[in-house]
């Protein structure tokens, strides 16, 4: 329901900006168009890199952590190890590597969210909204982007 609301809101924003509404439905082209009409075209590659880092390291974390922990737990149980012996020793290096993978995926997610926040802020500024409203829209886009989309605001194209 939230996705449908934001999709319709972005379609209305695209129409107000003179773009075709259906561009919002094409995954990367819609994102690029959103960054282009916001005047922040240079943030689009940042969003792609941060998204790729997030997905890559999160997938590596989940896959490796699940496989390695499963095999180690089976081996520890079969060998009669205690929990302290299982956590100590060689698993500490593995857990450190998994911690780095998780930290990098969280960093990528933060970069991705920052790129989307910049886009929401810039879109609101292009439609003549105040800085306060634009900051709130960057934090709460689900609530405030429909206000911009369905309001009487007019789009001011980037120079």
Q: Of 110, 127, 113, which is closest to residue 10 (Cα–Cα)?
A: 127
Q: What whole-number distance in Å separates Cα of residue 105 and Cα of residue 13?
A: 31
d(CA 123, CA 146) in angstroms, rounded, equals 12
Structure confidence at residue 91 (pLDDT): 59
Alpha carbon of 30 to those of 24, 37, 44, 116: distances in Å? 4, 11, 11, 13
Per-residue pLDDT of the chain (159 residues; tens, 9 = 90+): 888 999 999 999 999 999 999 999 998 899 889 999 998 888 888 888 888 888 888 888 777 777 766 666 666 666 666 656 655 555 566 667 777 778 888 888 888 888 889 999 999 999 999 999 999 999 999 999 999 999 998 998 765
The pair of structure tokens assigned to 86 is 């299982």
Residue whose C-alpha is closest to residue 49's, from 101, 107, 90: 107
**Domain extent listing, the chain:** 2-150
Q: What is the pLDDT of residue 123?
A: 93
Q: What is the pLDDT of residue 77?
A: 62
Task: Give the pTM.
Answer: 0.74
Name the residue with tokens 């689009």: 44
pLDDT at 158: 67
DSSP letters, 142-155, are: HHHHHHHHHSS---
pLDDT of residue 78: 64
Query: How many residues does this entry show for the chain?
Result: 159
Angstrom distance (rounded) from CA 146 to CA 135? 15
pLDDT for 157 equals 78
Residues 6+ apart with CB under 8 A from 50: 108, 109, 110, 111, 112, 114, 115
Res 82: pLDDT: 62
Token readout for 159 is 């120079």
Residue 22 DSSP class: G
């Amino acid at each position: 329901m939230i996705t449908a609301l934001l999709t319709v809101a972005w379609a209305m924003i695209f129409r107000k900006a003179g773009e075709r509404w259906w561009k919002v439905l094409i995954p990367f082209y819609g994102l690029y168009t959103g960054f282009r009409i916001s005047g922040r075209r240079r943030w689009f590659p940042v969003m792609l890199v941060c998204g790729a880092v997030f997905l890559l390291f999160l997938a590596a974390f989940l896959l490796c952590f699940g496989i390695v922990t499963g095999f180690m737990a089976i081996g520890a149980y079969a060998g009669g190890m205690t929990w302290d012996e299982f956590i100590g020793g060689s698993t500490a290096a593995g857990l450190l590597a998994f911690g780095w993978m998780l930290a990098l995926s969280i960093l990528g997610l933060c970069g991705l969210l920052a790129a989307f926040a910049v886009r929401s802020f810039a879109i609101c500024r292009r439609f003549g909204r105040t800085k306060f409203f634009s900051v709130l829209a960057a934090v709460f886009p689900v609530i405030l982007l429909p206000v911009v989309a369905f309001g009487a605001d007019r789009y001011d194209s980037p120079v």
